[in-house]
Structure 1
Amino acid sequence: MTRTPEDISHQLLDAARNAGADAADAIVLDGSSVSVEVRGGALEHAERSEGADLGLRVFLGKQQAIVSSSDSRPETIQTMAERAVAMAREAPEDPFTGLAESGQLARDWDVQALELFDPSPEPSADSLMQDALRAEATALAVPGVSQVSDAAASYGTHRVHLAATNGFSGGYERSSRSTSCVAISGEGTGMERDYDGDARTYQSDLRSPEEIGRTAGERAVAQVGARKPATGSFPVMFDERISSSLIGHLLAAGNGAAIARGASWLTDCLGQQVLPEHLSLIEDPYRPRISGSRPFDAEGLPTRRRAIVENGVLTGWTLDLSSARQLKMQSTGNAARGVSGPPSPSNWNLSLTQGDQTRADLLRDMGTGLLVTSMIGSTINPNTGDYSRGASGFWVENGEITYPVNECTIAGNLRDLLKRIIPANDARPYLSRIVPSLLIEGMTLAGN
């Protein structure tokens, strides 16, 4: 008889108890995926995988150890438990570790309302290949595209189940479907590349391969003739494609693990303004069909909608149980984990207040400056918030895009930059992080 992830997780707990653990939790992931890549009108690579991963965490008082495996046979589970308990005996004590109390646990949730799994039939490898071929063909049809380096499509499902000796037991199933295309324009040293792609929970929500291929091609062609911009202080607009990275730096600084270590430029900012007064940053793990949605976190606590920043003011940290205990606070239900490591704080779906102007309006108002559509590398000081990243995009003169630029660096201090962001109204509502294009006046730009 085939065992479910729930069956396996409870077998892991039983084995841990029998091996002498005071407490334990177990996470089991299983699933399958199929992906194809095409090139030159033909299949280049196809892959299908199926498997399960098991993670067991055991406690001896305040000592803990974690073991993982991809083998769910009973003898392996027994060995995992024995090894974990032996490791825990040698581990140093951690005063902040431990399972949630019974009263903290999620009790009732409605997985169906989250629509995490598409019940429609799994697409065949051939249908995935046809999607990738359609994206490639459309990109190649864009005048100026010289080749397509990669066109791909994939589908996957996975189940997760979490159980612990404190009485928690819960799981859910997800599906994912994606199509992507990378186009190249120009020849020789003048080649430029750009991409487009889409990933959704439901196949029916996915953008068409033709739209994805065409957009990738047009973006690549628009980069032809890129050169370095001027050096100086200019307005910089972060295109909606990459603007969420700025908010990501804010989230990283507000992560409870960083705060507990004292390694964050936000350490002294709780209750203070970190964004413009009219902007809020909302976390919502209950949005249907979105990859960041979930009914409970990796420690069995209920997730919840919350304002991380409300009217510009930072309201709290992102906490799991360990960081909350270190900071003498309550967990925000934001624990995430894999099978081989302990839980750590992580954010779910985010949305930033949108502005009342279009992207074109902001470009017009910025006058002369840089529109950033791609970034590479980063130098960010976690203690001070000093920020420096390589960037490429388009130079704007008199509110109009004039030519593509590359090989430049943008810099500033996140503490100051984030207070000056001006949002457009162009955020895509189906992304896990809904962040519009963001204009910041007076950033340092290093080009020629």
Structure 2
Amino acid sequence: MRKPVNKPEKTASAASSFAPAASAQTLPGFTHSRAQFEELADAAMSHARKLGASDVAADVSESAGLSVSARQGELETVEHSLDKSLAVTVYIGHKSGSASTCDFSPQAVRQTVQAAYDIARYITEDPASGLPDEADVAGPQAASLDLDLFHPWNPSVEQALALALACEQAALQTSPHISNSEGAGVSAQQSHFFSAHSHGFRGGYASSRHSFSVSVIAGQGDAMQRDGWFSAERNAARLASPEAVGRYAAERALSRVGARKISTRECPVLFEAPLAAGLLGHFVQAVSGGALYRKNTFLAGSLGQPVFAGHVEITENPFIPGGRGSAPFDGEGVRVTPRQVVQAGRVAGYFLGSYSARKLGMKTTGNAGGSHNLRLYSRQTSAQDDLPAMLQKLGTGLFVTELMGSGVNYVTGDYSRGASGYWVENGQIAYPVQEVTIAGNLREMFLNLQAIGADAYTYGAKTSGSVLIARMKVAGS
């Protein structure tokens, strides 16, 4: 049986030969300039004030992209996208209304503002409604901070297809036991926006995200197993090579051939690093504003309380250059800052925008629109705690590499997910496992988090190593 192999390194790939340097002035690939966006936002805000709005916010954006997929050596789909939008929120005291349009003509802008104003006139007043407090708004210097987020990549359909085919071919050629392909894809996406509101905020920036992906099938008949892999970066030159992505996807599928069920039991569970980022996401949702002020979270009132094992830390850093969760300000134009979210296992901060903060009688944390580059780690982790070392810490138990379903109850914390992975005995992978369900309660899982690996992996805007939970229920045959 094949064992999981190391993930492909993010080295210069075929994409790097035609990935131009970012240019904040020309914004290649777009049809509108920053100056045009500013004019549209100012026109919308001016018209709102003429109508009698007490406050107004405007957001103008544009996105462009290309997605190409191939299967069995042939082009399957080509999707070009070019979208634009003007969104306006009008406030009349503590009443608000929002409207949007993709028509940038002066008449459409006025009609959109009028629609937002009319909604605000008749909506119920909400004391928490309103723009962020002026003291929290990011100033010009913060709003213009360059975080290296924009790396335009504009491959032709032929170039993108060649990369997708190389990715799929590498997977198929890894072993004769790779029996089929579910296809490979290449995506090149970029966007830019400008936001302004009447509490003095003005700011915007361009960003990009590009990726390769492939999924293949190993084995025959009832023994067939599927798995895949991807590489995603803001800068196409930093993507793993399509060949490396293809080979790793094939190795993952091959390592699952011969998977079997196991009997129902309780045992330690080790979550692979990309899945550990999902556990971090569950925590974020449970301590985010909407869930907190509605009191539909098992972590209501947890500020200052021990939620994780005492060695666990979580940090947030919006200013990592090129980070997928980096931003100079949040979705309301509020200042952001690096901070400790969990310290020595205790909750040191929530995730709040201005509205949820007011509902809770607190201050915004600069998280309108989401979190920024979270990192889950342990003060007990050493540089030697790679995946083999984490398997040794697991000892005998389940190593989970895939989760299915969305069985998380945020009111109670109950957790139940379909899973597959590997049964581990004495720190060594014994055989692949499929068709099991792992269950527990997030509160207990967090408190019983035994170790976090040094095999850190960034999935989206969350970074974590593999995570070992002391005990969970595993339902099998």
User: Residue 396 of structure 1: which of 419, 424, 441 is its match?
Assistant: 424
**Letter of the structure 1 residue corresponding to residue 247 of structure 2:** R
Per-residue deviation, residues 71-93 of structure 1 (Å, max 9, x unmatched): 11111111111111111111111
Deviation at 1:102, TM superposition (A): 2.3
**Letter of the structure 1 residue corresponding to residue 97 of structure 2:** A
Structure 2 residues without counterparts, runs of 5 or longer: 1-30
> Counterparts in 2 of 1:423-438, with a 5 A limit?
423-428=452-457, 432-438=461-467
Deviation at 1:241, TM superposition (A): 2.1
**Letter of the structure 2 residue corresponding to residue 13 of structure 1:** M
Deviation at 1:110, TM superposition (A): 6.9
1:75 paired with 2:107, answer yes
In structure 2, the partner of 1:152 is 185
Per-residue deviation, residues 320-349 of structure 1 (Å, max 9, x unmatched): 00111111111011111xxxxxxxxx2111
**Matched-pair contact (CA < 8 Å) for 1:372–1:393:** yes
Answer with 429-438 or 56-65: which moved more: 429-438
Structure 1 vs Structure 2: percent identity of aligned residues? Answer: 38
Structure 1 residues without counterparts, runs of 5 or longer: 337-345
> Counterparts in 2 of 1:36-435, with a 5 A limit?
36-107=68-139, 108-109=141-142, 111=144, 113-118=146-151, 122-143=154-175, 144-336=177-369, 346-354=370-378, 355-356=381-382, 357-421=385-449, 422-428=451-457, 432-435=461-464
**Letter of the structure 2 residue corresponding to residue 351 of structure 1:** R
Q: Distance in 2 between matches of 1:190 and 1:90?
A: 61
Deviation at 1:112, TM superposition (A): 5.8
Per-residue deviation, residues 260-315 of structure 1 (Å, max 9, x unmatched): 11111111321111122222100111011112100001111111111110121111
Per-residue deviation, residues 385-436 of structure 1 (Å, max 9, x unmatched): 1111111111112221121111111111111111221111101368621110
**Matched-pair contact (CA < 8 Å) for 2:48–2:113:** yes
3-state secondary structure, aligned to 1:300: coil
Answer with 121-130 or 323-332: which moved more: 121-130
Q: Distance in 2 between matches of 1:59 and 1:112?
A: 29
In structure 2, the partner of 1:341 is none
Q: Distance in 2 between matches of 1:426 and 1:275?
A: 20
Q: Distance in 2 between matches of 1:156 and 1:366?
A: 40
TM-score with structure 1 length normalisation? 0.94
**Matched-pair contact (CA < 8 Å) for 1:290–1:430:** no
**Matched-pair contact (CA < 8 Å) for 1:56–1:66:** yes
Q: Distance in 2 between matches of 1:129 and 1:334?
A: 38
**Matched-pair contact (CA < 8 Å) for 1:232–1:444:** yes
TM-score with structure 2 length normalisation? 0.89
3-state secondary structure, aligned to 2:78: strand
**Matched-pair contact (CA < 8 Å) for 1:155–1:176:** yes
- Equivalent residues, number: 438
Q: Distance in 1 between matches of 2:118 and 2:127?
A: 19
Q: Distance in 2 between matches of 1:413 and 1:331?
A: 29
Q: Distance in 2 between matches of 1:131 and 1:104?
A: 45
Q: Distance in 1 between matches of 2:291 and 2:63?
A: 32
Deviation at 1:111, TM superposition (A): 4.9
Q: Distance in 2 between matches of 1:105 and 1:114?
A: 19
Q: What is the aligned-residue RMSD (CA, Å)?
A: 1.7
Deviation at 1:372, TM superposition (A): 0.5
Q: Distance in 2 between matches of 1:84 and 1:362?
A: 54
Q: Distance in 2 between matches of 1:228 and 1:16?
A: 63
3-state secondary structure, aligned to 1:131: helix
Query: Cα distance 1:258–1:431, how it changes in 2: closer, same or farther (>3 A)?
Result: closer
3-state secondary structure, aligned to 1:270: coil
Query: Cα distance 1:45–1:123, how it changes in 2: closer, same or farther (>3 A)?
Result: same
Query: Cα distance 1:249–1:366, how it changes in 2: closer, same or farther (>3 A)?
Result: same
3-state secondary structure, aligned to 1:248: helix
In structure 2, the partner of 1:7 is 39
Q: Distance in 2 between matches of 1:443 and 1:157?
A: 42
Q: Distance in 2 between matches of 1:423 and 1:220?
A: 25
Deviation at 1:191, TM superposition (A): 2.2
3-state secondary structure, aligned to 1:445: strand
**Letter of the structure 1 residue corresponding to residue 276 of structure 2:** S
**Letter of the structure 1 residue corresponding to residue 475 of structure 2:** A
Query: Cα distance 1:44–1:388, how it changes in 2: closer, same or farther (>3 A)?
Result: same
Q: Distance in 2 between matches of 1:8 and 1:388?
A: 48
Q: Distance in 2 between matches of 1:254 and 1:69?
A: 33
Per-residue deviation, residues 226-266 of structure 1 (Å, max 9, x unmatched): 22222111110000121111111111111021111111111
3-state secondary structure, aligned to 1:216: helix
**Matched-pair contact (CA < 8 Å) for 2:416–2:440:** yes
Q: Distance in 1 between matches of 2:229 and 2:57?
A: 40
Q: Distance in 2 between matches of 1:70 and 1:186?
A: 49
**Letter of the structure 2 residue corresponding to residue 335 of structure 1:** A
**Letter of the structure 1 residue corresponding to residue 415 of structure 2:** Y
**Letter of the structure 2 residue corresponding to residue 83 of structure 1:** A
**Matched-pair contact (CA < 8 Å) for 1:287–1:293:** yes
